[in-house]
Amino acid sequence: MSDGQANPRTRDPDRSREAILDAAESLFADRGYEGTSLQEIGRLAGVSRGTPGYFFGSKEGLYGAVLARAFAAELDLVAGARARATESGGPEAELAAAIGSFVDFLAARPTFVRLVEREALAGGARFRAAPAHAATMAAGLATTADILARGPFRPVDPAQLLLDVLALCWFPIAHATTFARGLGLDPEGADFVETRKRHVVELVLRGVRNG
Amino acid sequence: MSDGQANPRTRDPDRSREAILDAAESLFADRGYEGTSLQEIGRLAGVSRGTPGYFFGSKEGLYGAVLARAFAAELDLVAGARARATESGGPEAELAAAIGSFVDFLAARPTFVRLVEREALAGGARFRAAPAHAATMAAGLATTADILARGPFRPVDPAQLLLDVLALCWFPIAHATTFARGLGLDPEGADFVETRKRHVVELVLRGVRNG
């Protein structure tokens, strides 16, 4: 190529890598996996034609890397919030912190929500096949089971409780323009995220408390 | 036309109408609103070419009728369950019955779930514009507020609680092949629906109970 772009190894590979992941997350979210090509991703990321393939091997590899990055960010956020909560308040505070950080994660990452919504409509096979998915579900289940075991909680299936938390945090973002707005709520409004957090934390803590 | 089909007015109009609505719900769910034509709907329904337009005027009118039929079925089911519960157990039993009947409705109607998921990805404008939507949201809010006002419940925003119930019932169906299966749950399994109902009812009742 004669456009002056050097081999990605010799430029800023971390920046190129992040730009490709950003572009891929956005295009997969807007057009779905089938409707997106490596070439378009490279163009949106502003890298030379061969760079996405050079970094990620294939479209499937890049899709897996998009999921892995999103899940890693989510797990970091939840783990950090939980660690801070452990010092102050024990299992109830940890559960509250995990819920709060998950709402923050989703509100900051609407492309991830859209990407997974598309995946669900497409049957979910590609999503489940991504290694990061199984690892994240396992980590989420282990965290939920651990909190449940240590708290003043009634016996609850950790998988059902994790599904509840996912549902309560995810649904208002995914259905912001359908059900949430239909109920007079505005998930893009300034106070929605904090109001929703407090509401979900209280519902779930009371819902699983012992006695 | 020479295919032996008479004017729909003189055949079985109710049956044709239902067949068109079934075909439309299924095609809108599979391909989205933009990807579906009145002609394809007519073909799938086995009616003559002009019949969908004759009954529903336009694709938009037919889309609204699909939503209206689904919402009416849902409201009927919830109202019936609630009426039976009123006799036996008061507000807590009514809330439990409403949740249970909503889970039954969604499990029996996966095309509706898929249709609304597509609509959410498309921005929701068409969904919100359907007259049946506003009426159903208003009826749902009034029911929720009424149950909350009469029960031994703490003060909770009815819109937030209705959003919770929608989320807890909807998410496992919409994300059966992504998150639910990733957590080792099988929403298509024989006992999932009853297990989920009991779990959600207990979580929500404890979550809103006073004290």
pLDDT in tens, A51-73: 999 999 999 999 999 999 999 99
Mean pLDDT of B115-143: 93
From the list B128, B137, B179, the residue facing A163 with the nearest CB is: B179
Counting one residue from A and one from B, how many pairs have CB atoms under 8 Å apart?
146
Is the pLDDT confidence value at A19 over 80?
Answer: yes
Question: Are residues A182 and B128, on separate chains, in Cβ contact within 8 Å?
Answer: yes
Instruction: Find tokens 């007015």 and name the residue.
Output: B9
For residue B8, the distance in angstroms to the closest alpha carbon of chain A comes to 35
Residues of B with CB below 8 A from A168's CB?
Answer: 164, 167-168
Assigned CATH topology for domain B9-57:
Arc Repressor Mutant, subunit A (1.10.10)
Q: Is B2 helix (H, G, I), strand (E, B) or coil?
A: coil
Question: Are residues A204 and B206, on separate chains, in Cβ contact within 8 Å?
Answer: no
Query: Hey, of A34, A114, A162, A163, which one would you mutate to test binding to chain B, going by the most B CBs within 10 A of its CB?
Result: A163
How confident is the model over A180-205, as pLDDT tens digits? 999 999 988 889 999 999 999 999 99
Distance CA(B29)–CA(B43), nearest Å, equals: 16
Residues of B with CB below 8 A from A116's CB?
Answer: 175, 178
Instruction: Report the b/e string of A180-203 with b at 16+ CB within 10 A.
Output: bbbbebebeeeebbeebbebbbeb
Mean pLDDT of B177-195: 92
Enter the tokens of residue B10.
């003189």
Distance CA(A85)–CA(A91), nearest Å, equals: 8
Q: How far apart are the first and last CA of chain B?
A: 70
List, in sequence order, every residue forming a beta bridge with A209; answer none if it has no partner: A153
CB B118 within 8 Å of CB A163: no
How confident is the model over A29-43, as pLDDT tens digits? 999 999 999 999 999
For residue B182, the distance in angstroms to the closest alpha carbon of chain A comes to 6
- Of A107, A93, A50, the closest CA to residue A201 belongs to A93
Q: Is B57 helix (H, G, I), strand (E, B) or coil?
A: coil
Q: Which residue of B has its CA nearest to A128?
A: B178
Question: Are residues A120 and B199, on separate chains, in Cβ contact within 8 Å?
Answer: no
Is the pLDDT confidence value at B11 over 80?
Answer: no
Phi (first) and psi of residue B76, to 5 degrees: -60, -45
Distance CA(A7)–CA(A70), nearest Å, equals: 27
Q: What is the ipTM of this complex?
A: 0.92
CA distances from B121 to A114, A122, A198, B201 (A): 7, 13, 27, 29
Would you kindly state where each structural domain of chain B is located, as residue ranges? 9-57, 66-208
A126 touches chain B (CB under 8 A): no
- A151 pLDDT band, cuts 50/70/90, is confident
Homologous superfamily of domain range B66-208: Tetracycline Repressor, domain 2 (1.10.357.10)
Instruction: Find tokens 């295009």 and name the residue.
Output: A27
Mean pLDDT of B32-58: 95
One DSSP character per residue, A53-73 reads HHHHSSHHHHHHHHHHHHHHH
Mean pLDDT of B180-198: 93
Q: Which residue of A has its CA nearest to B211?
A: A206
Question: Are residues A171 and B182, on separate chains, in Cβ contact within 8 Å?
Answer: no
The per-residue pLDDT for B63 is 96
CA torsion, ordered B88, B91, B97, B98, to nearest 10 deg: 150
Is the pLDDT confidence value at B4 over 80?
Answer: no
From the list B159, B182, B204, the residue facing A128 with the nearest CB is: B182
For residue B207, the distance in angstroms to the closest alpha carbon of chain A comes to 4
Question: Are residues A160 and B196, on separate chains, in Cβ contact within 8 Å?
Answer: yes
In this structure, is the dihedral angle defined by the CA atoms of residues A200, A168, A127 and A174, taken in order, positive or negative? negative
Is the pLDDT confidence value at A87 over 60?
Answer: yes
B contact residues 180-199, partner A, Cβ 8 Å cutoff: 180-185, 195-196, 199
B contact residues 9-68, partner A, Cβ 8 Å cutoff: none
Enter the tokens of residue A171.
């649904």
Distance CA(B204)–CA(B211), nearest Å, equals: 14
Task: Write down the mean pLDDT value for chain A.
Answer: 92
Residue A145 amino acid letter: A
Instruction: Report the b/e string of B117-147 with b at 16+ CB within 10 A.
Output: bbbbbeebebbbebebbeebbeebbebbbeb
The per-residue pLDDT for B131 is 86
Question: Are residues A120 and B174, on separate chains, in Cβ contact within 8 Å?
Answer: yes
Q: What is the Cβ-side half-sphere exposure of residue B190, based on CA atoms within 13 angstroms?
A: 0
- CB under 8 Å, gap of 24 or more: what pairs does B171-175 form? B171/A163, B171/A166, B171/A167, B171/A170, B171/A171, B172/A163, B172/A167, B172/B196, B173/B106, B173/B107, B173/B110, B173/B113, B174/A120, B174/B113, B174/B114, B174/B117, B175/A116, B175/A120, B175/A124, B175/A166
Q: Tell me which of B30-44, B45-59, B76-90 is least confident.
A: B76-90
In this structure, is the dihedral angle defined by the CA atoms of residues B84, B90, B91 and B95, taken in order, positive or negative? negative
Distance CA(B152)–CA(A19), nearest Å, equals: 53
How confident is the model over A163-177, as pLDDT tens digits? 999 999 999 999 999
Instruction: Find tokens 């208002």 and name the residue.
Output: A172
Enter the tokens of residue B124.
């929701």
From the list B118, B156, B157, the residue facing A121 with the nearest CB is: B118
Instruction: Find tokens 């249709």 and name the residue.
Output: B115
Question: Are residues B167 and A171, on separate chains, in Cβ contact within 8 Å?
Answer: yes
Mean pLDDT of A154-164: 97
What percent of chain B lies above the pLDDT cut of 90? 82
- Of B128, B107, B121, the closest CA to residue B35 belongs to B121
A contact residues 132-191, partner B, Cβ 8 Å cutoff: 133-134, 137, 140-141, 156-157, 159-160, 162-164, 166-168, 170-172, 174-185
Mean pLDDT of B19-23: 98
CB B158 within 8 Å of CB A155: no
The per-residue pLDDT for B174 is 96
Is the pLDDT confidence value at A4 over 60?
Answer: no
